[in-house]
Structure 1
């Protein structure tokens, strides 16, 4: 009887340990799936953007590079229907983080660059700079 109880207890401990190891490994694996975008940040004056939304310099908005916008999964010939439209992102530079909404595509941008409205840019850096390198951003 004691031998069977010991075997059952040992098996239970092994199962709990295996679950614990799996649980601890899961966050690292899921973090590996998160894509952190890095690019330059520039300044632009929004108006009627590719998403069909009119914005002003005071709005917390941004445009992504045309290549990113046009090849985003689900993009169609009609830019107003792009899944990036109205998508919020978190953008960081030099320890400052802001939330902006994607409303446009930037034809002068490349890769993972962002073009910020003046209000958004000014929360990350002095607008007189005009371009900041190493902006990290993620979808919210």
Structure 2
């Protein structure tokens, strides 16, 4: 526990651009003394980890506001029309198209209302259409 807390303090200091003491009491067996955490994790590795977290946070924020990153699996915008202009079918309805893409089957996919989503890893967000002749289509959503 002491090493974990010390590591967090050390990481925070590096993330904030501070060079600090990264030693914590040794807790291995009968050994006495200190463990230097800076020997375990380099400053560059910590900076990279912080940057990776910030990139993930930024991608999540962008997809929540209406643009697509990658395949758009995390997209949670409100576009509800296909690229050809067809209205999207609600995910909780089985007409005009029956389907298995439901909140129960894909609980973390944001299958709300009739918004375009990508619950199954297609190339980009899509929806079932309200056109009985056209089962589904991709949606036109800007790329972030």
TM-score, scaled to structure 1: 0.29
TM-score, scaled to structure 2: 0.29
Higher strand share: 1
Indicate the structure whose relative CO is greater, using CA pairs within 8 Å and at least 6 residues apart.
Answer: 1
